[in-house]
Structure 1
Amino acid sequence: MGTLTALSTRGTPPSGAGVSQLRTTPLVAVPAEPQGAGTVLPLPRIRGTAPTPAVAPSVPLRTVPASERGTESRPRADIAQLTGLRFVAAVWVLLLHASYVPGNVFARWTEPIAPLVAAGPLGVDLFFVLSGLVLTRSYLGRMGERPTVRGTARFLRARIARVWPLYAVVTVVFGLWCAARLVFGSDGVVTWQSPQPELGPLGWLRQLTMTQLWTSSSIEGISFVLPAWSVSAEWLAYLCFPLLVLGAWRVRSWPLPVLAVLAVAAASPVALVPVLTAGSGESGAWVWALRIGGGFTAGMLTWLVVDRLPRTPQVELWAGRLVLVVLAETVLVAYWAASAPASAAVPAADRLWFAVPMFPVLLGALCVARGRVVDWLAHPKLQHGGRISYAVYLVHFPLIEITVVAMTRFPALAPDTSLAALAVPHVLVASVVLAHYAHRWIEEPARGALTRS
């Protein structure tokens, strides 16, 4: 395994950053350097840094009275604070990936929050828990109480309409970019991954059917767009959901403390494996399966608790306080992970997973809490950000890779030049702007067409 360190072109990191080296997957070979261009190493990364959005129903929504819980035949209205949280999680991952761009500018700008930026992989796990919660909230009554083949088919069709159209567009466009690099490039590197993704007919088939991850123990070299591994993982969870929701329906009346403990326990394996395998170097194999399986199930169990909680002022008050406690603990874990010495039995990248068991608590508390954090997440701007968060996740990494390629080809854009210093903020802004239009022109029209046909 390699380490996540500053690229050779980035210079010496700012003093006082206090961020230790994080273990990552090995880097690919340095591409051949064109005449006059600066050397740019491939992008370093921590394993697992791509969020898949929690998906909400795509048909008209309404709020359901408490008396109808568990038996509602139509989807419920979104929980505003969870929608806003989706955008926060997407930006968290975006900032992590932006830190891969060569040069010293981003490191200087983000020095005070460098440990939080390095903890970006947690944004993925937050999405996984959120996805399980949202889908259980929307489909528990319809699929758990009255399971039918037709209902299952309708559910899977809705999921395909939600995630596949934009995913297919981005996969095809960036896949063609990778193919062009292979044909016209001289270094044999088509994307900054090791190993390289398969560009043959079978590779394209697996990409477009969202099954590319299922037989791999690692997320590297699996997708044309690295973050797309989580789409493949989510699709697997969707296929398993009809069976999982049957189990959730049968345990929904268990005592609330038991369900709460089970929710936290379901999210815990990804945190326990690094401890149990400390020093063996084997904690990275099949971790993605623990993350999607544990996180998704934890989200389902979390909704079973939330759905039965009384909505009293006292419950809302304590839920708001619990939100603040979990947020503080997550920040503490991020800084603790960043301070891990190189000789630590549990390295920095694995220490991050200790925050994951707190996510069911965070999301459950957010569902019923009142206060400033909830009001902020429910702001209209963040609501729109939550709606485009899936597009942000899909488009941002291709833009980053294209930027890095430009830095290797054009001397004026070499790392730490004045133009390169402008590249990072423009990539951040461009990711959000492009996501807005991708959501407006591709996601929504395609979803409407697929659900109506």
Structure 2
Amino acid sequence: MSEHVTQVVEQRPEFPVLDTLRAVGALAVLTTHTTFQSGEYGRNGAVGTLLSRLDVGVAIFFVLSGFLLSRPYLARAAAGREHPSTGRYYWKRFLRIYPVYAVTVVIALALIDENRGLGVVQWFRSLLLVDIYTSPRLPQGLTQMWSLAVEAMFYLVLPLLMLAALGRGKGLRPGRVGAVLGALVAVSVWWVLSLAGVVAESSAGVPMSWLPAYLTWFAVGMALALAHVLHQSRGDAAPAPLRHLTTLAGMPGACWAVVAGLLLVAATPLAGPSFLFVASPAEALTKHVLYAVIGGLVVLTGIFTVPGSYARVMSAPALRHLGVISYSTFCIHLPVLHLVMSVTDYGLFQGHGWQIWALTLVVSLVASEVLYRVVERPGMRLGGLRPPWGRSSTSHPKSTAQTTTTR
């Protein structure tokens, strides 16, 4: 790429709206879990089905991860610079997710009655984040962690994916990146329709909860990262589809209207059952594609944000702070939900949905604030230290796009 491109592609852009969108994803996940426990899925018709589809919050998380973690690679390539330090990248990812995760595991396994009596092997499986590969179900209070296990695997393979997309040389070749993203989507579709079933025959885990099933969602985020870098590097000379994408992003109301419409489609039988029934491969793929588009549209509004009321509201400090603590909210909300159900004596599937939701939300936010201040923030400060492997940290300058948390 030219020296002009090196000057215009930002290496540390800020995306304040994405913080709030992380909070939206966490709230969606918390809501779908609390309304499941209360039985709202089955007693409220179409509304109950819509509540079950708020698991789309996971798709938002995965698209965010794909965008935030791949963009530093793409931006450096466009600027003619070498790849980020892999050792430092792994070190920061570990410090970002593991401390709060480990605390949550200890709380869930030690304090939730259903987990009493679990042996040392199960403790190690959970602490190592490998439950989805070794067991058909996760311990109580940790069932949401299947998605964190998927994220962790994506973190591990991302440097290899970016090597395939960018090569070892300096420079950005959009066609090569697009080919890799297309391959990820193809693998994901194949896995959902066929391969997961084949692997399940010889696996003790849950192959439909493994990374290959969700590569499309990460690929959408990576495609948005490529679009953002190309938009910055080419400006008015960008291809027409890219200009149309940025125009759409400038109409957040339209994006959210489409998201609402797609959620309604996802609430139909086309996307499979909403309760404890297994979807067919075709239904699973339909839901998968719908969620990919929804996640992409939601995240799009936080990338190419234009000045206006949407940007102003979604960048409000209070909302952004909810996004900052959203990873702790994601981790701790199920142990809190079990606490709420135990203390109130609300029965499983016996109603009281909004009371359960409100109590779980309030207590989770308080617990999240504590976890953020006591566990998360000290851990992230360690991220500034030189890791015990890899190149010097000076070869990998701080990138707001990368250090913005994806959970």
TM-score, length basis structure 1: 0.65
Task: Describe the SS at the equivalent of 2:36.
Answer: coil
Question: Which residue in 2 is equivalent to 1:123?
Answer: 57
Preserved contact between residue 259 and residue 298 of structure 2 (Cα < 8 Å): no
Question: Which residue in 2 is equivalent to 1:296?
Answer: 218
> What code does the residue aligned with 1:373 have?
Y
Whole-angstrom distance in 2 between the partners of 1:305 and 1:254: 12
> What code does the residue aligned with 1:357 have?
A
> What code does the residue aligned with 1:229 have?
W
Preserved contact between residue 98 and residue 428 of structure 1 (Cα < 8 Å): no
Preserved contact between residue 329 and residue 364 of structure 2 (Cα < 8 Å): yes
Output one character per residue of 1:354-390: Cα deviation in whole Å (capped at 9) or x when no partner: 3233234553454113244333322222211111110
Whole-angstrom distance in 2 between the partners of 1:420 and 1:301: 38
User: 1:289: how far off?
Assistant: 2.1
User: 1:233: how far off?
Assistant: 1.7
Distance 1:275 1:296, change over 3 A: closer
User: 1:132: how far off?
Assistant: 1.6
Distance 1:421 1:66, change over 3 A: same
Out of 338, 354, 371, the position equivalent to 1:438 is 371
User: 1:125: how far off?
Assistant: 1.5
What are the ranges of 5 or more consecutive residues in structure 2 without an aligned counterpart? Answer: 201-205, 237-242, 274-278, 387-407
Task: Describe the SS at the equivalent of 1:123.
Answer: helix
User: 1:209: how far off?
Assistant: 2.6
After TM superposition, the structure 1 stretch with the greater mean CA deviation from structure 2, 395-404 or 266-275, is 266-275
Task: Describe the SS at the equivalent of 1:402.
Answer: helix
- Asked which structure has the greater RCO (Cα within 8 Å, sep 6+), the reply is 2
Q: Tell me if 1:204 matches 2:123.
A: yes
Out of 304, 311, 314, the position equivalent to 1:368 is 304
Output one character per residue of 1:232-283: Cα deviation in whole Å (capped at 9) or x when no partner: 2222111112212223334974458x96797588457656766779x99x9x
Say what the alpha-carbon RMSD is for the aligned residues: 4.2
User: 1:326: how far off?
Assistant: 4.1
Distance 1:95 1:145, change over 3 A: same
Question: Which residue in 2 is equivalent to 1:355?
Answer: 290
User: 1:172: how far off?
Assistant: 1.1
Preserved contact between residue 340 and residue 347 of structure 1 (Cα < 8 Å): no
Preserved contact between residue 263 and residue 302 of structure 1 (Cα < 8 Å): no
User: 1:304: how far off?
Assistant: 1.5
Preserved contact between residue 319 and residue 366 of structure 1 (Cα < 8 Å): no
Whole-angstrom distance in 1 between the partners of 2:194 and 2:251: 29
Output one character per residue of 1:117-141: Cα deviation in whole Å (capped at 9) or x when no partner: 2212211121111112101223445
Whole-angstrom distance in 2 between the partners of 1:305 and 1:418: 45
Question: Which residue in 2 is equivalent to 1:190?
Answer: 115
> What code does the residue aligned with 1:190 have?
N
What are the ranges of 5 or more consecutive residues in structure 1 without an aligned counterpart? Answer: 1-64, 182-188, 192-197
Distance 1:398 1:71, change over 3 A: same
Question: Which residue in 1 is equivalent to 2:162?
Answer: 245
Of Structure 1 and Structure 2, the greater helix share is in: 2
After TM superposition, the structure 1 stretch with the greater mean CA deviation from structure 2, 236-245 or 265-274, is 265-274
Out of 230, 235, 244, the position equivalent to 2:147 is 230
> What code does the residue aligned with 2:371 have?
A
Question: Which residue in 1 is equivalent to 2:396?
Answer: none
Out of 264, 269, 284, the position equivalent to 1:335 is 264
Whole-angstrom distance in 2 between the partners of 1:418 and 1:287: 29
Whole-angstrom distance in 2 between the partners of 1:418 and 1:357: 31
Distance 1:353 1:317, change over 3 A: closer
Distance 1:351 1:333, change over 3 A: farther
Whole-angstrom distance in 1 between the partners of 2:326 and 2:338: 19
TM-score, length basis structure 2: 0.71
Q: Tell me if 1:89 matches 2:14.
A: no
Written as runs of structure 1 = structure 2, the 5 A alignment for 1:24-103 is: 67-68=6-7, 72=11, 76-102=12-38
Question: Which residue in 1 is equivalent to 2:380?
Answer: 447
